[in-house]
């Protein structure tokens, strides 16, 4: 069987550099916010989909900084 991502759209998080996708043993995938590690104002698993977020940074921006 082909693997599928069993998760709802995460909104802004899906294009944010702070998102980390965490699979569980049942095949579900959760959207974790890495900003929650250093800033308690961010929830580890925010309610989805996220429509607005003051911590959002696009993935493309982090790629540009690394090159
Ligand atoms: S910073 Fe905001 S947009 Fe980015 S992963 Fe965390 S909750 Fe989602």
pLDDT in tens, 41-59: 999 999 999 999 999 999 9
pTM value? 0.82
| Residue 42 token pair | 């961010």
How far, rounded to the nearest angstrom, does the alpha carbon of residue 5 sit from its chain's CA centroid? 14
Of 5-9, 22-26, 54-58, least confident by mean pLDDT is: 5-9
With a 6 Å cutoff on the Cβ, whether 30 touches ligand 1 is no
Per-residue pLDDT band at 60 (split at 50, 70, 90): confident
The domains of the chain are located at 1-52
The answer to whether 42 and 56 are in contact (CB under 8 A) is no
Distances (CA, A) of 39 to 33, 35, 43, 54: 10, 6, 9, 12
Tell me the best of 32, 43, 50 to mutate to test the pocket of ligand 1, counting ligand atoms within 8 Å of each CB and taking the most: 50
């Amino acid at each position: 069987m082909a693997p599928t991502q069993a998760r709802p759209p995460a909104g802004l998080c899906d294009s944010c550099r702070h998102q980390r996708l965490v699979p569980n043993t049942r095949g579900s995938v959760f959207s974790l916010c890495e900003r929650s590690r250093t800033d308690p104002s961010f929830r580890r698993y925010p309610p989805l989909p996220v429509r607005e977020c003051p911590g959002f940074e696009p993935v493309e921006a982090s790629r540009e900084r690394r090159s």
